[in-house]
Amino acid sequence: MRRTTGAWALAGLLAGAAGLAVSYLITQLMSERLTPVSAVAELVSRLTPGSVVHWAIDTFGTRDKPLLIAGILVVLVGLFLVLGRLARRSLWAAYAGFGLLAGVGATATMTANGAAVTDLLPLAAGLATWIGALAVFATSLRRLDAVPELERFEPEAARTRRRFLLTTAGVAVGAGAATLLGRVAGRGRERVEQARRLLRLDVTPPRVPAGATIGVEGVAPWQTPTSDFYLIDTAFTKPTIEPRDWQLRIHGMVEREVVLTYADLVRRPVVERWITLNCVSNEVGGDLVGNAWWSGVALAPLLEMAGPLDGADAVLQTSQDGWNCGTPLEALVDGEVGAMLAVAMNGEPLPIEHGFPVRTLVPGLYGYVSACKWVVDLEVTRFADIEAYWTQRGWGERGPVKIASRIDVPRPGTEFDAGEVVVAGSAWKQHTGIAAVEIAVDGGAWTPAEVASAPNDDSWVQWRAAVTLEPGDHQIRVRATGKDGDVQTGAVADVLPDGATGWDSVDLTVRG
Ligand SMILES: Nc1nc2c(c(=O)[nH]1)N[C@H]1C(S)=C(S)[C@@H](COP(=O)(O)O)O[C@H]1N2
Ligand SMILES: [Mo]
C-alpha cells in the first residue's frame, strides 16, 4: 500500500492546481478585479493588525502583496498534498477539505468591496474542478492500489500505471492551458491598468478641509478612501477602455452633434470638487454613500456646445456596456449644479470599477439616474420618449437625493458605564446643505448636535453630541434639517422607488 502514497499526494496537488487554474481563467474572462486567491490575500491583510501591515510594508515595500499571494499559494500546495493523501483513506473527507477551502475563498470574495453573487462563479467552477479531478484520480489510483505486490510487473499492472500517468499528464496540461488562456484573457484589463498607471492628469491631490472632521473615533471618515468607496453596477464584466479608444458622443435633440476624445476632454479646464455620491438603494443608516474629491470637466459647457433644442428635458446617458440612465437636462446645463465628467477620484485616475476612463457625476441626484460609469454617449431627448435601465424596473424617473442623517457611533448594542455617551455620525442634503442635526433620547425632545463644517453643500457633514444617560436600555435617534428649513421626516419609506426615509436610531445599554 505504501508505494502509492506519493501518487495520491501528487493527485491532490494536481487537482488543486487545476481548480486554481480554472478559477483564475474565469476571473480573467469576467474581467474581475480579484481572483479567489487575491481575495483571500485582501481578507488576510484586512484582518491583520495595522502594526504588522506597517512592518510588512517597511520590510518588503511594494512587494508585500505578491509575497502574501506567494505565501498563500505555498500554504495551498501543502494543503493540496495533504488532501490528496487524505483522499486515499476517505474521498469524502478530501472533498470536504476542498469545500472548506472554497468556503474561505467565498467568505473573502463576498466580504470584498463591491462583491456580487456572480463573483462566486470562478470559485464554484474551481471547486467543481477540484472535486472532478480528484474523483478521476481516485478511480485510477484505487485500481493501482488493488494490484497485489506480486503482480506489480505484470502487463495489466503496467497498463493501470500508464492510465494514472496519462490522467496526471492530462490534468497538468489542462491546468497549464487554463492558466495561459487566463493570461491571454486578462491582457485587455492588464493593458488598461497599465494605461491608467501611466496617465499623468493635471489634478490636485485631495486635502480634507480644516473643520470637516468632528474628531470622534469610529465615525466614517469624511473623505471616503477609494478602496472603501461603495461599488454598485450591473456590469458582469467590467468595461475595460483605454483612454485613447474612448469617445463621447453628444447628440439627439441638439443643434450640432459633438464628439469628444479623451485628449479633447482633458485639454479643457479642470474642475475639482468634494461630492458625496449616494445610491438610491441605501437603507436608513446604510453605507451605500461616500464622499470623494472628484476632478474632471464641467458638463454644462459641453452641452452648450451641442445646443439642446427646445422641448428637450432629459439626457439619456449610456455606458460602454449598454447600461443607461435618464438625467434631467436642467441638472446638466445649470452650471451651478456642477455636473461633471470625472476623470479622477481622490486625486488618482478613476479605478476601472468606478468608471475609468470617464464617468458622470451630478451632485444632488442618486447614482442610478446620473452617475454613469464608463460613459460614452449622451443623447439629449425627452423623458416622455425614453425608459432607462432602472426606470424600466420600477424606480423613480428623477431621483433627487433625499435629506438623511446617520449614527455611526456608538455601534448598536454597545454597553456603557453610567455617565456621558458620545453620539456621532454623518448627515447630508446635497445641493442644499445641512443647517442642523438633532438627536432625541428615548423619544424625548430633540436637542441640537454640534455640526462640523463642509466646503460646499454637495458634501456630507459630520456631527456629534454628548448625552448623559441613566442606567438602563436607551434608544437614540437622529434627524437633520436642511439649509432650506426642510426637516428630515420620520415617516418610514422603503428604498423603492426613489430612496428611503425615516430616522436612523441606535439601541444601547448603560450599566447600573
Ligand atoms: N455603467 C454603469 N454606471 C452606473 C451604474 C451601472 O450599473 N452601470 N450604477 C449606478 C448606480 S445605481 C450607482 S449608485 C453609482 C455607483 O457608483 P460607484 O460604483 O462608483 O460607487 O453608479 C451608477 N452608474
Ligand atoms: Mo445606486
Written as tens digits, the pLDDT of the chain (512 aa) is: 457 899 999 999 999 999 999 999 999 998 888 899 999 998 998 888 777 777 877 777 767 778 899 999 999 999 999 999 999 999 999 999 999 999 999 999 999 887 889 999 999 999 999 999 999 999 999 988 888 776 777 888 888 889 899 999 999 999 999 999 999 999 999 999 999 999 999 999 999 999 999 999 999 999 999 999 999 998 877 899 999 999 999 999 999 999 999 999 999 999 999 999 999 999 999 999 999 999 999 999 999 999 999 999 999 999 999 999 999 999 999 999 999 999 999 999 999 999 999 999 999 999 999 999 999 999 999 999 999 999 999 999 999 999 999 999 999 988 889 889 999 999 999 999 999 999 999 999 999 999 999 999 999 999 999 999 999 999 999 999 999 999 999 999 999 999 999 999 999 999 98
**Residue with the nearest Cα to atom 2 of ligand 1?**
373
DSSP 366: -
**Cα–ligand 1 centroid distance for 289 (angstroms):** 12
Rounded distance, CA 65 to CA 436, Å?
44
* Pocket of ligand 1 contains residue 371 by CB under 6 Å: yes
Cα–Cα separations (whole angstroms), residue 117 to 199, 230, 405: 32, 16, 29
Q: Whose CA is nearest to atom 12 of ligand 1?
A: 368
Cα–ligand 2 centroid distance for 1 (angstroms):
60
Q: Distance between terminal CA atoms of the chain?
A: 68
Work out which ligand 1 atom sits closest to the CA atom of 231. Answer: 19
d(CA 170, CA 165): 8
Distance CA 450, CA 445 (A): 16
231 lines ligand 1 (CB under 6 A): yes
- Candidates 227, 231, 315, 368: which one to mutate for ligand 1, based on the most atoms within 8 Å of Cβ? 368
C-beta neighbour count of 90 within 10 angstroms: 11
Helices (H), 270-352: 300-306, 329-333
**pTM metric for this prediction:** 0.87
Q: How far is CA 172 from CA 138, 175, 381, 439, in A?
A: 16, 5, 56, 64
* Rounded CA separation 370/502 (Å): 24
How close is the Cα of 376 to the center of ligand 1, in Å?
A: 14
| Torsion region of 242: left, alpha or beta (phi above 0 gives left; psi -120 to 50 gives alpha) | beta
CB burial of 142-157 (b: ≥16 within 10 Å; e: otherwise) equals ebbeebeeeeeeeeeb
In this structure, which residue's CA is closest to atom 13 in ligand 1?
367
- Cell digits of residue 315: 439626457
* Angstrom distance (rounded) from CA 73 to CA 23: 14
Q: Probe ligand 1: pick from 233, 341, 374, max atoms within 8 Å of CB?
A: 233
The CA 470 to ligand 2 mean position distance, Å, reads: 41
